[in-house]
Structure 1
Amino acid sequence: MDPHPRNPAVDLLWLVPLGVVVVLGSFFTNLPEPHASPSGYEPWLAGALGAAAVAGLLVALRRPLPGAVATFAAVTAFVVADLEDGPVYLTLAGAAFLVASRLEVRRWLRVVVAGTAAVCVALVVRIVADYDNQRSLWQVTAVVAVSAAGAALGTLGRARAAAVAEHARAVATQERLHMAQDLHDGVGHGLAVIAMQAGVGLHVLERDPAAVRTALEVIRDSARESLDALRADLAVLAGEPAPRRPHRGVADLGELLDRVRVAGTSVEVLGEPGELPDDVDALVYAVVQESLTNVLRHAGASRATVSFVRAPGRVTVTVDDDGRGAAGGGVAGMGLSGMRTRVEAVGGVFSAATRGAGGFSVRAELPL
């Protein structure tokens, strides 16, 4: 099945005028001249063979190879019948174009080459055998050129259609990946915090009501944020205007770090990122958020460190923990692979690996 189907109605726009020209041209070209013997002039046969060639083109709209074979056969018969030349040869270009625009080269090449060769052989036979012949080898060259031109145009059109379809698939895939990353960033972190806080609440349920209250408040806030993010992403999927989502940046890290600390992981911040462009600001927040989410979900860490190093033209953010390292399972997940893609997309350098002293380290160097 052709992965890039061509609409037959588009080809009818040029096939119908071509058919009229071929049939009428073949008929009137073979009308006997005044005072000439009717012998050798067969207008009705010429018109019928021209119509057969056009009919092959119409069949080729749905069944390219059988239709092309019919067209080449009709033109070959036209030459063998030794009729006066007319516009019937234009159907060769049409047949080559239709098969090349619908099928892969390996499927139509032999048919077009064989059909063109049949017409050329018939012309050569008429040139050699017919003593009253007005044909020449230039006609053979013209037949080959016409068929080649039709095939070239059809191949070019199919290649362009394939490129457009491939671009559309790439855009759709990229959009799906972007939506998945947004869901992961917006909902995944919230669910990780909720799960951790629920565990904390259950653990101290009987002996520390204040800690339970704090855990429930964090669960409430995280659930609200996750629902807002989910609504925004679902609105995009439904084709509706998405509600504005707050810009998360370095200024919001305090709230993020407090949630992680409430969950039982100590977090220390070293250095200052300074003023950052909006895109880098959001990306720094996303890297820290994803790294700390993995600390909560996978690492089993008791301590994490967020470090900032500002240098001319770049800022580096590093998140280290003292957990289980790569054995925690966070390295191959969507979160870190998504971070790598986003960091490298802005010309940055990303790394994530187990630390030699134990634990895990995520590092992103971003240009300013």
Structure 2
Amino acid sequence: MSVRLPSVRSALSLATASVLALSLAACGGTTKESAENNNGSNSGSKATANPNAPIKEGLKLAFLPKQINNPYSTIVNKSGIEAAKEFKGEAKEVGPSDASASSQVSYINTLVQQGHDAILIAANDPNAVCGPLNQARSRNIKIVAYDSDTDKSCRDIFINQASSEEIGRSQVKLLSDQIGGEGEIAILSATANATNQNTWIEFMKDELKKPEYSGMKLVKVAYGDDDDQKSFQQTQGLLQAYPNLKGIISPTTVGIAAAARYISSSQYKGKVVVTGLGTPNQMRKFVKDGTVAQFALWNPEDLGYLASYAAAALSSGQITGAEGEKFTAGRLGERTIGADGEVILGPPFTFDKGNIDDFDF
């Protein structure tokens, strides 16, 4: 069970990060077809929000992660599925076993055929899924991107775990503080096409241009494809290719755990700093054995929960995805939609030896 201390919740929201739009259950006697005609859809008429509309009962939501059996995605989606029960909806998780650019397309097509009210997707590629998603939208199926965005023209709303800029820049600062602002560094990412990873990395590169980081040099961006073994091998390759490497940032839960596992049993332990984005449960042993001093994340349970309620609000007509609209996300309270249909969960939270045992997720 996750520990939810009030002070931590304010920092994480309880653990912040992009407000994931989850499909909410539709309530009332309006059919999907009549809702299409009355509320409009992305295929024609301009939709109008009714903030006083009740959440519809019986909404069908589907979570489509980058890949199934990823520990982080499992936590996010399980929480979203549980949230749907609060508004008397149904939710499920489907998805590919690999995180290739086009691997999600067939799942989107199937979900459209099954008549879901909302599809919640963490996109492997911002463009590869656009055609199928817009086909879904033409049938008044709401699209909530979470964790990793699509092109904004292909979805209704994006639940972002935290400000992309804040995530990217804070990762550089976290590593700089641990290596004294000096030395060669590398980034171990997920897939080369992952929208969230690439956005964070661009902000990392921009942050490194600041004078205070002039002693740090980014020598390589490697890709482990969110595969444990490949990420482990990429870590080994980085250390062999760059013997003077001082630190690795891995902004993916699979990558940071694999990198820490390699370094924990190698000659580099205590010499090469590993940081990035991970969950407390997967990183606890590496923090306690001294391999990792600090890393960051938001609460993935809150991300899935928020996404589910966002999807419900969309499917019920409470919001359309326009900037300034508001909706209530259960225990997380009222949320406001920002520019480009983005909802932000909150700022990233830093875990270390002093607080990691306060969390269980």
TM-score (ref. length: structure 2) = 0.22
Compare the two structures and name the one with the higher strand fraction.
Answer: 2
Larger Rg: 1 or 2?
A: 1
